[in-house]
Amino acid sequence: MTTVLAAGPGPDVWHQIFNFANYGELLALVHNSIIAGALLGIVGGLVSTFVMMRDLPFAVHSISELSFAGAAGALLLGANVIIGSLTGSILAALIIGALGSRARDRNSIIGVLMPFGLGLGVLFLALYKGRAANKFGLLTGQIVAVDSVQLQWLALTCVVVLIGLVAIWRPLTFASTDPEVAGARGVPVGLLSPVFMLLLGLTVAMSVQIVGALLVLSVICTPAAAAMRVTASPGLVTLLSVIFAVVSVVGGILVALGGSVPISPYVTTISFTIYLICRVIAAVRAKRGWATRSAERPLAAAVPATH
């Protein structure tokens, strides 16, 4: 046990958090993790714009707890952890999608599912007799050297989510921002909801592998929440959200590399810092009056202007 001095954390604590000794060798060991992180950043950034539009952050958190339970169950049984985590999150996503079409219903179902998932996961981990790092990693993330088989799973998930999202992009945007008019225009609003939940479940399962179940929101909510503060252009929101997510995850992995602390604090700190910066930019702009109009010019005289 180290005694923490009143003056602040001792040098060995800093050393645990930041340690760049032998960095080049470590980097070579984790290049699979970095690829996985980049894939997660791309998919997480894209999905998070819809998570924000559809007001689903709470659902994301709940899905990740069930994903954790699935992964922990797989760990206990000696099965593939990724398949376990996929099973848990897809089940949770489908349950939330099927039972909670209205926001109120949805929130109560989520509130019921979340502790159940977490409890189940804790039970499985308590029974598991293997390495403790495996246990902790599911909750708070880890840079275990992602092996090639795992990377293939992650890449496959990523491709499925990307193809799915691109295919339903326009109607999903329409249904997420104005379900009533979208329905009138022929968008299958009721069908898109479970399809999106499925894609969301896949993405959450991916994130649980890397950032851990407790902090998935830093990849599947914060990037778009930050982007929406600085622009309302849908293309730019998407682009910024992806950039923010990739920077958070890959940056988090790179900084975490030498330390002995889990990866998630790095990812969440970068993600949160980006969000803060975006809010500051938005506040400065609002002061200068940017937010209301792009250009000020008198309206045509034919129709009386609104005030």
Which residues from 217-276 bind other proteins, rule CB under 8 A? 224, 227-229, 231-235, 237
Q: How many Å separate Cα 291 from the centre of its chain? A: 27
**Binding other proteins by CB under 8 A: which of 57, 183, 194, 258?**
183
Q: How far is the CB of 14 from other proteins (least distance, A)?
A: 38
Q: How far is the CB of 267 from other proteins (least distance, A)?
A: 23
Q: Which is nearer to other proteins, 79 or 195 (CB)?
A: 195
Q: Which is nearer to other proteins, 11 or 304 (CB)?
A: 304
Which residues from 278-307 bind other proteins, rule CB under 8 A? 291-297, 299-300, 302-307
Q: Which is nearer to other proteins, 31 or 285 (CB)?
A: 285
**CB count in 10 Å sphere of residue 241:** 26
Length of the chain in residues, anyone?
Answer: 307
CA distance 215 to 195: 24
Q: How far is the CB of 158 from other proteins (least distance, A)?
A: 17
Examine residue 191 and tell whether it contacts other proteins (CB under 8 A): no
- CB neighbours of 8 closer than 8 A, spacing ≥ 6? none
CA distance 109 to 231: 33
- CB neighbours of 131 closer than 8 A, spacing ≥ 6? none
For residue 263, report the phi and psi dihedrals to the nearest 5 degrees: -75, -30
Which residues from 30-49 bind other proteins, rule CB under 8 A? 49
Examine residue 173 and tell whether it contacts other proteins (CB under 8 A): yes
CA distance 157 to 38: 13
Q: Which is nearer to other proteins, 13 or 283 (CB)?
A: 283
Tokens of 7: 């003056």
Q: How far is the CB of 295 from other proteins (least distance, A)?
A: 6
For residue 46, report the phi and psi dihedrals to the nearest 5 degrees: -65, -50
Task: Give, in degrees to the nearest 5, the angle at Cα 98 between 176 and 153.
Answer: 80
Q: Which is nearer to other proteins, 68 or 196 (CB)?
A: 196
Site string for other proteins, 76-115 (x = CB under 8 A): ----------------------------------------
Q: How far is the CB of 225 from other proteins (least distance, A)?
A: 8
Examine residue 29 and tell whether it contacts other proteins (CB under 8 A): no
**Binding other proteins by CB under 8 A: which of 184, 191, 276, 284?**
184
- CB neighbours of 19 closer than 8 A, spacing ≥ 6? 258, 259, 260
Examine residue 170 and tell whether it contacts other proteins (CB under 8 A): yes
Amino acid at 188: P
CA distance 210 to 304: 56
Stretch that binds other proteins, among 81-89, 185-193, 199-207, 260-268 (CB under 8 A): 185-193
Secondary structure of 28-51 as H, E, C letters: HHCHHHHHHHHHHHHHHHHHHHHH
Q: How far is the CB of 185 from other proteins (least distance, A)?
A: 5
> Which has the closest alpha carbon to 211: 126, 166, 272?
272
Residues in the site for other proteins, rule: CB under 8 A?
49, 52-53, 166-171, 173-174, 177-178, 180-187, 224, 227-229, 231-235, 237, 291-297, 299-300, 302-307
